[in-house]
A and B are shown apart, each in its own frame.
Chain A
Amino acid sequence: MWSVFNKEINSFLNSLIAYLVMGVFLVSMGLLVWVFPDTAIFEYGYADMGIFFNLAPYVLMFLIPAITMKALAEETKSGTFELLMTKPITEFKLVMGKYLAGLVLVVISLIPTLVYYFSLSYLGNPVGNIDSAGIVGAYIGLLFLASAYTGIGIFASSLSENQIVAFIIAVFISFIAFIGFSSISDLAFFANSGMQIEKVGMLAHYDSLGKGVIDLRDVIYFVSVTALFLSATFWVLKLRKWNS
């Protein structure tokens, strides 16, 4: 598993896409949080990172599929998947290696945003007047969300040997899973079951973690979503082998 993990990290860091994706993420987050007047913290006037945590899920919705799209699609297309299957590595380990590598890359692109926290803490009046606990909770929420997105991305990558198709499927599933359920629960038709439907989606759980309260139910929710998509990937690979 670790050899696959290392290989993924290396090949990603050796390619231009990695720096492009991270650069685009950091530049767009920086602009949204600090510069664009509609959303910038300076206009808002409070030493609060809420705007970052509100927007990050939408940016990650595109960033993570861009990282994961080639994970399995390219292996299938170039035939190296067949090569891997002749080696003593199980589908499970392969999927886990790819998933962990994807997650670590997302974490690497999130680390520079910690600067936001320190800047804000310094800008606060008095200095250091910032809701640290809330921000830690929100970061944890963001990590869990990123983990679920990565699982979805790996799953989408197993469905097609075309990276673009994998990307679009991943963005679509992530979108539906994140806000689709809470939006649809607003329909008058679901007036009675709205609460339950909203809980199926990731937004409700992400918001609840973002308040700085680490609720075990939310943690279990995100871990389950990740596990669900990773095991779906495992079965896609298994079925493809049996049907070949």
Chain B
Amino acid sequence: MSILVRDLTKNFGSQTAVNNVSFEIKKGNIVGFLGPNGAGKSTTMKMITGTLPADSGQVEVDGIDVALQPLEVKKHIGYLPEHNPLYLDMYVHEFLRFCGGIYGLSGKKLKNRVSELVDLCGLKKEQNKQIGTLSKGYRQRVGLAQALVHDPSVLILDEPTTGLDPNQIIEIRNLILSISQDKTVLLSTHIMQEVQALCNRAIIIKEGKLVADQAVSELTEEKEKFTIKIELEKHADLSFWTTHQEVNSLKLVTETEYLLEATRDIRKDIFKWATQNDVDLVGISLEKGNMEEVFHKLTQNN
């Protein structure tokens, strides 16, 4: 077990930030850590990394107890903090060497590792610039490089893509995917597509309590209803289907696109009907429920 969290609790004064949270993450998984702002995501992550002492409960990383051997655990974890604090007056190269030095790398080994990271994180052109002069996307890369300097087995990323533009988000995502091959990754985010794109599991917390811990595909699977997307060559009248007893609703999205909601997967029937009635179908597919809806359902206040 790469990360094991058991009955973790943290209070700030009278406010309970994290309330009896337990979960386990197996080696090699990428897990999304979701929740509304202030739900206790960052607090939980800080407790896993050992920067914040827990009030009660237990955290183990690679089988090592964080409370008992904090220094040992820190050698196994690479952590990208929420606002990615960096020394703005240091040069990228210098900063990575400094971080490597803290982990006990030195001499040739350190030099090789730094140039490896510069390549891996796409910092080749920027390596001799001051961190303060870099754009946010590049700073985020420096933050990731810093977290990876000692080749940790567990990566904890606190909102790695917040505040980036769409291109940078994709770049950082690809970077995370490429480095996560043999690592366990726990990442928090507000972007639901990110979870669908990157993670195989999602842990959702709300007001410090765990509300979901499931595979992303299970979370988004819709059991009661099937939404079918129908694309046509040119506009045609599908109102016939509204009378079908298994169809709940039919919605025209664009001139040539319909969304049909049914209680059963009736794609085959539609296809047959279309060939019989000379309607040119160009596409028919089952829509997956989206993470946003799931998130909303699980975390909204009633």
Which residues of A come within 8 Å of B, CB atoms?
2-4, 6-7, 10-11, 14-15, 78-80, 82-90, 241-242, 244
Determine the chain A residues whose CB is within 8 A of the CB of B49 once the complex forms: 86
The answer to whether A79 touches B85, judged by C-beta atoms less than 8 angstroms apart, is yes
Determine chain A's interface SS by DSSP, over half rule.
Answer: helix
Most buried by A among B49, B71, B87, B102: B102
User: Which B residue's beta carbon lies closest to that of A74?
Assistant: B87
B54-85 residues with Cβ-Cβ distance < 8 A to A are: 71-72, 74-75, 77, 79, 81, 83, 85
Give the CA-CA distance A80 to B85 in the complex, in Å: 5
The answer to whether B75 touches A88, judged by C-beta atoms less than 8 angstroms apart, is yes
Known A79-B83, A79-B85; contact A86-B77, beta-carbon cutoff 8 A: yes
Determine the chain B residues whose CB is within 8 A of the CB of A3 once the complex forms: 98, 101-102
Determine the chain B residues whose CB is within 8 A of the CB of A84 once the complex forms: 102
The answer to whether A78 touches B51, judged by C-beta atoms less than 8 angstroms apart, is no
Contact residue among B77, B88, B98 (Cβ-Cβ distance under 8 Å from A78): B88
The answer to whether B101 touches A82, judged by C-beta atoms less than 8 angstroms apart, is no
Determine the chain B residues whose CB is within 8 A of the CB of A87 once the complex forms: 74, 99, 102-103
Contact with A along B98-141 (1 / 0, CB 8 A): 11011100000000000000000000000000000000000000
Give the CA-CA distance A169 to B297 in the complex, in Å: 53
Indicate whether B52 reaches chain A with its CB closer than 8 angstroms: yes
Most buried by B among A7, A11, A241: A7
Indicate whether B94 reaches chain A with its CB closer than 8 angstroms: yes
Most buried by A among B50, B53, B81, B85: B85
User: Which A residue's beta carbon lies closest to that of B70?
Assistant: A88
Determine the chain B residues whose CB is within 8 A of the CB of A242 once the complex forms: 53
The answer to whether B89 touches A14, judged by C-beta atoms less than 8 angstroms apart, is yes
Indicate whether B86 reaches chain A with its CB closer than 8 angstroms: yes
Give the CA-CA distance A87 to B101 in the complex, in Å: 11
The answer to whether A86 touches B101, judged by C-beta atoms less than 8 angstroms apart, is no
The answer to whether B81 touches A82, judged by C-beta atoms less than 8 angstroms apart, is yes
Indicate whether B281 reaches chain A with its CB closer than 8 angstroms: no
- Give 30 CB contacts A-B under 8 Å: A2-B101, A3-B101, A4-B102, A6-B98, A6-B101, A7-B87, A10-B94, A11-B87, A11-B90, A78-B85, A78-B87, A78-B88, A79-B81, A79-B85, A80-B87, A83-B81, A83-B86, A83-B146, A84-B102, A86-B50, A86-B51, A86-B77, A86-B81, A87-B99, A87-B103, A88-B74, A88-B75, A88-B103, A241-B53, A244-B52
